[in-house]
Structure 1
Amino acid sequence: MHTYFDTGGIQKNMPSSKPAATLLLVLGLTVYLLAGSPQSAYAMHIMEGFLPLGWTLFWWAAFIPFFVLGLRSLQRITREAPELKLLLGLAGAFTFVLSALKIPSVTGSSSHPTGTGLGAVMFGPLPMSVLGSIVLLFQALLLAHGGLTTLGANAFSMAVAGPMAGYAVYRSLSRVSGRPKLSIFAAAAAADLTTYIVTSVQLALAFPAESGGVLGSLAKFGGVFAVTQVPLAVTEGLLTVLIWNWLQAHSPSELSLLQSRMKGVRTHD
């Protein structure tokens, strides 16, 4: 059974200035942050050619099924709720901006916010597997923040594991606490931290320590990442709540439409 939406009446009543203002905000924030942030020779999460071939192929194989499911989810959303395309663009742009801010970390890697929590809260985790991987691809090609061979591993950590954890935290905490902003903060922080936990696991599996093996290597990588990533996760959570507050203040009709439309779309997932 399929749900069909009559969007004509709603679109007529939606103020055209609000989507335009949202888009201008995103573009302005993107230009400001990218122009003002120092560039690094480090790659996305794991640099080009850093992983052994076997693990490179393994993480590509693990990522591709989620990408396919994400494409199907995006097609369903845009087909049944086409008026949400602008908010999809906002989620992608937010991810691009935050994940472009690099702090050099473990050799062959870097720390930065991920920005995937907002999109996971708005649309669920599957669409973020596509949006996040596109962001990583653009960064590799346009900003020299990585390469193609490690895209599978980086996308699995940032575009798959992070959004899934963030969405799970958001849904669980929303039911328990009934406080949406606290849930959004926790979701964004969880998505960020989970990304780097998975990255630490990926590096530990590829490069086990001579003393302690995989667990010893995991403790080393995780400990180094934690120094920068825990404060970044808290900061990202606060920023995500600020963006949500901005949307509530300036685009309440779009958020209301998002919530009602996504309830219908998710019945098919």
Structure 2
Amino acid sequence: MAQLEFDEVVTSLRAAGCVFAEEEAEILIESASNSAELTELLGRRIAGEPLEHVVGWVWFCGRRIAVAQGVFVPRRRTEFLVECAAALHPSTLLDLCCGSGAIGMSVTGVAELYAADIDDAAVGCARRNLDSVGGTVYSGDLYDALPPNLHGRFDAIVVNAPYVPTADIALMPGEARIHEPRIALDGGADGAGLHRRVAAEANQWLAPEGRLLIETSALLANSTLEAFVEAGFTATISESETLDAVVVIGSIVE
């Protein structure tokens, strides 16, 4: 692509309010095989579709992860959840509410990887991603998706369940509010509804030394911690200032 075309793409993106116009222009140009396709991709981005949906991938933990339209786009802050899980060196891992499967796929050293989500589009996307690493993806509501033979098997369960309070969804940027499924955003009245459900049944699925890890927010951290304690866990709050990320990590009290 000529420099003039690059400048035109940047100008169009800036006019549409894209903060990182130069970076996005490079990605769009790289992703387009010809001028007509570039025009189509640029039009979708200017209309407000997330860049990751437009090009079909997101850069996460040092690799490209495929994402599809209607599937939640993993945020960079969620890389902290991956770091926390990797530090535990789990052999058997469950990525619950998996979305694209980016979290489970990014935890290194896992021998057996399982994932589950209730959304059909997410399950399809996760299967495309996790097939390459030998992961298994199930469809269903939280643990109901899993076969009984996985009871007590997991060294770690990693969860990025929705944690936006219902009333706050209207305040989210249009890219998320319009283009990502509400089921991947809505955490209930206080944001911690799914965290309570996940924690309440986790002990049935964790191995004796297993850990439950849930991404949350600074405002919601205490509510998520309470959900762990109510479910019989001893838990701590871990934070990353660099990624502006919060993860609650718990183990069953013996």
Name the TM-score class by shorter chain.
0.3 to 0.5
Q: Hey, which of these two has a bigger chunk of helix by percent? A: 1
Q: RCO higher in 1 or 2 (8 Å CA, sep ≥ 6)?
A: 1
Q: Hey, which of these two has a bigger chunk of strand by percent? A: 2
> Normalising by the residue count of structure 1, what TM-score does the alignment of the two structures yield?
0.31
